[in-house]
Amino acid sequence: MSRELELIADVKSLIGEGPSWDSKNNCLYWVDIVGRKIYTYYPETGSVHEINTKKYVGCIVPKEGGGIALAMQDGFYTLDNGDAVFTLLAQPPNYDPFTFRFNDGKCDEKGRFWAGTTSFFEERNNAKLYCLGQDLSVKETLGNITVSNGLGWSPDNKVMYYIDSPKREIYAFDYDLETGSISNRRVVIDFHGQHANPDGMTVDEEGMLWIAHWGGHQVSRWNPQTGSKIDSIPVPVSRVTSCVFGGKDLNELYITTARIGMDDDQLKEEPLAGALFKMKLDIKGLPTHCFRG
């Protein structure tokens, strides 16, 4: 299959992030974290719908039964179909939304919503990874994080993968799907030689990891068993933020990007910074799971 990167939406996001595919409604969701927006792309019509969140929004997932769930600046929210009101579901205990904001996140196969934070003040090792259960309880699962980012699970759900971007390492944990517990943390990919920070991530049906390069003009495919890089998709934007498989056959890789912090000269060189892209591949991804709370 010939591979061609397609421009889907030139929305000029400050930080486009957190993409997820809604298979029931055949649409893609993603956010602009700092621009405080939710986007929905409908491939059948090519239209893009925009909602202003009025506060920082880190990631978005479809909600079982309809609507969406989000991790925003100060906690987990829901937005039901046809409703313009965001409803707070839960906040982590002793959480300070003026120091931290939620960043990347997604749901596991059981419908738990995992999302992590980062500090507004770029403090190191003070952020956390949380898990919102179906009962709307919030559990802290990891600490000593700087920028909580990419998440994913192996096809058999026995391994969870995780990124803390500045550390430039991709971690794996043994994962218990029934309880949502993680253990046996280890490094499976060393990203130091990529001259970029690993950002968002998704997993394909063969168990390979697709990782966005913040500062690296690409999304790359890795084998977590060997730690080797096996493929790369060039992107005409340096700040590549995340990716997810979508489309009716889950063989279309959607890629989000950012333009925050770029000066006029950089934006002239990268006029599509902040846009949403897509590439059709000969490999299928794993589905985006819905929040079941």
The residue ranges of every structural domain in the chain are: 6-280
- The pLDDT of residue 2 is 65
- The pLDDT of residue 240 is 98
Q: Which residues contact 251 (CB under 8 A, 6 or more apart)?
A: 245, 280, 281, 282, 283, 284, 285
Q: Residue 70 phi/psi, 5° resolution?
A: -140, 150
Which of 13, 55, 6 minimizes the C-alpha distance to 30?
13
SS3 2: coil
The continuous run of DSSP H or E covering 268 comes out as helix 264-269
Length of the chain: 293
Q: Name residue 215's beta-bridge partners.
A: none
Specify whether the CB–CB gap between 48 and 61 falls below 8 A: no
- Which homologous superfamily is 6-280 in? TolB, C-terminal domain (2.120.10.30)
Residue ranges, the chain, pLDDT below 50:
none
10 is catalytic: no
- The pLDDT of residue 182 is 98
CA–CA separation, 160 vs 152, rounded Å? 6
- The pLDDT of residue 122 is 78
Residue 39 has a CB neighbour count (10 Å cut-off) of 23
CA–CA separation, 113 vs 130, rounded Å? 8
Specify whether the CB–CB gap between 116 and 33 falls below 8 A: no
Residue 259 has a CB neighbour count (10 Å cut-off) of 23
CA–CA separation, 38 vs 25, rounded Å? 16
Which residue in 74, 104, 108, 199 is the catalytic one? 199
- The pLDDT of residue 84 is 72
> How is residue 75 written in tokens?
């906690």
